[in-house]
Structure 1
């Protein structure tokens, strides 16, 4: 279903209720336009960083970044898997409205307005380095037609499974690498998913190198750098070369730990990620632009259990229930750290519920852009600046996910979280204020709360024939 049709219904349903925000906060008028870097880890869990409780994996640079800025405890990804999560980030739409709602048909359309396009409109230089996953060369979703002046990395998310691919893509052209690979011959990854038989050039390191080169480039205008990195996602085709799927050049400080090899590799990947975030921050200092640069770090969804790892080994979801592909908190609640010297007070913690679709209006406030497109987001710039008294809050946050046995809807409103699991047509209600692990289903105890949240669900979801939730009735058709 076209987004214009979706929003035709959305405006009718939500317009009078004020759920779609169209104007910016007054706070935007007093903020100088900064450089902005948004770093997105891939499948990093809520509990994988030291600042979020991790005790075995070392992440000193990200922990220091949290001390230098603000750490959100209740930030949510756009979805529990890659493509729809990133689509919500780019378009400012939750999964009841976004055109991309799953890992299939994951191409942004020409009618989608992305935050990168917004930055371009006000004169920012825009760059993408890493994994895109929302459209390939020549499609309406290619980064170059979605607001990016330049890009480098992977366009296809299955291609991105392999950390030692035979090529990456830069501005529409293949960059051949000195790796030899074999490709999957069957299944969903046929002809795209691969594993290396000769490993020489590590894609993550090449992406970081390209990002640092971009930062070094002389320019007369501010920049937006989007860094959707691939670490610590697994190579799901790792079995093609009889290896586990946690590909990393070396195990570093974890080499001699008495841990399973995949777990050593996962820890090494996360520590490498941490070190490379540190390199980005150091570069900003070297260039003397750190005080005029907002840096954000987060993850696209919860931790995976692929490539030979067990998320319980490092307690990667912390106190949360569920992992990637679940709409429990462990699948969608993610770490979120922001640093902006002189603007964001150091060592700040916020429990404001926020989500990926809030980034579009937040950035709009920062750069003084008046949004004319619909968004499900609310700017949380006041919270970043320590002006919580003027912070607006969501009536609810909404997710849906349609993939095999995982079809579900979830909604959070205040302390309440309601899940609808389609396979069993069951409902679960949790009070997150004292049950963050979603252990005590209160569905029979608070009927008024359940009815209120069900009404919000109906308000938020617009049927899309490409991604019907399992068991959802087809819309009525005229005879």
Structure 2
């Protein structure tokens, strides 16, 4: 970090740079901004002005140690809520600047997350009915919200049930930018879903995840509403997400053919290191 920025909250520096970039964007030329905010994330620290409204709500308190792990004797919940409030405020600043500059109707804004919530925020029930958390391949670890905003192009207050993943972002952007030859990848553009043309939307045969840190190795495959999860040397788990979003009942023994089909996807999807 440059010396002149010492002592500043990093998130605020990100926001300043983003506002400067959008403020200097040329209305007649394409522009792209990837803003990778780090909050909310351990360590749970946020300036005082983002904590004040939560100070006297009587919430149970939580604190982290120096490694960012949680203890149950101080105010991590207040800081966590303050982080989310600050991020929400600053995303709003960027969207408002797009509006003031007359760029909003020609700009696609996507807001999403790289994983589900961590274990330290369970008091807020951040996962709702989903099982698992960050570093899991249950839905609580890999299912994340995605909000797309594009006035007069994306219909407001609509939802899509299209199943996608981050590797679909590049082909989506390639299509929107009219790129003649998008680099080879495993993704599928979801422009049709953004525009509400659900019948024209191409679907994945399956999506594959693999995670080898801490709890790993773990593998997961989703095909339609079916989800198979496999841990090393353990019986595979099969869930019907249309009926069991919380992944509470393993139905592999009752659906052996489906379990085998998804295991075949799993075995063919990965490349040995």
User: Same fold per TM (> 0.5)?
Assistant: yes
Aligned counterparts of 1:357 and 1:252: Cα–Cα separation in 2? 39
SS at match of 2:81: helix
Q: Is residue 2:152 matched to residue 1:345?
A: no
Query: Structure 2: how far apart are the matches of 1:218 and 1:418?
Result: 45
Partner of 2:41: 233
- Report matched runs for 1:29-40 at 5 Å: none
Deviation at 1:404, TM superposition (A): 2.9
The CA distance in 1 between the partners of 2:4 and 2:269, in whole Å, is 45
Mapped partners of 1:416, 1:272: distance in 2: 37
Residue 218 of structure 1 and its aligned partner are, at CA, apart by 4.7
Match of 1:377 in 2: 187
Paired residue for 1:367, among 156, 164, 177? 177
Helix, strand or coil: the match of 1:430? strand
Aligned to 2:29: 221
Q: Name 2:255's counterpart in structure 1.
A: 446
Give structure 2 stretches of 5+ with no counterpart. 62-74
Quote the residue 1:300 is aligned against. 114
Which of 213, 216, 227 is equivalent to 1:406? 216
Q: Which residue of the other structure, out of 198, 206, 215, is the alignment partner of 2:13?
A: 206
1:425 corresponds to which residue? 234
> Where does residue 82 of structure 2 map in the other structure?
268
Question: Which whole-Å CA distance do the structure 2 matches of 1:312 and 1:320 have between them?
Answer: 12
CA RMSD of aligned residues (A): 1.2
Give 1:125-140 correspondences, 5 Å limit: none
Aligned with 2:56 (options 230, 233, 256): 256
| Structure-1 residue corresponding to 2:72 | none
* Alignment deviations for residues 16-66 of structure 1 (CA, whole Å, 9 cap, x no partner): xxxxxxxxxxxxxxxxxxxxxxxxxxxxxxxxxxxxxxxxxxxxxxxxxxx
Alpha-carbon distance, 1:459 to partner: 1.8
- What SS class does the counterpart of residue 341 from structure 1 fall into? coil
Q: 1:282 aligns with which of 83, 89, 96?
A: 96
From the superposition, tell whether residues 203 and 177 of structure 1 become closer, same or farther in structure 2 (CA, over 3 Å): farther
Structure 2 Cα separation of the partners of residues 417 and 349 of structure 1: 22
* C-alpha distance in structure 2 between counterparts of 1:446 and 1:426, whole Å: 14
Is residue 25–residue 31 contact of structure 2 (8 Å, CA) maintained in 1? no
- Contact 2:211–2:219 (CA<8 Å) still a contact in 1? yes
Q: TM-score, normalised by structure 1?
A: 0.52
Question: 1-side partners of 2:257 and 2:4: how far apart?
Answer: 59
User: Cα 1:283–1:178, aligned 2, differ >3 Å: closer, same or farther?
Assistant: closer
Contact 1:328/1:438 (<8 A) preserved: yes
Contact 1:291 1:341 in 2 (8 A): yes
From 176, 189, 195, the equivalent of 2:3 is 176
Counting matched residue pairs gives 256
More strand by share: 1
Q: Is the 8 A contact 2:108 2:149 kept in 1?
A: yes
Secondary structure (helix, strand or coil) at the match of 2:236 reads strand
Gap regions ≥5 residues in structure 1: 1-166, 168-174, 180-199, 236-245, 465-479
> Which SS does the other structure have where 2:32 is aligned?
strand
Q: Does 1:356 align with 2:166?
A: yes
Which residue is 2:69 aligned to?
none
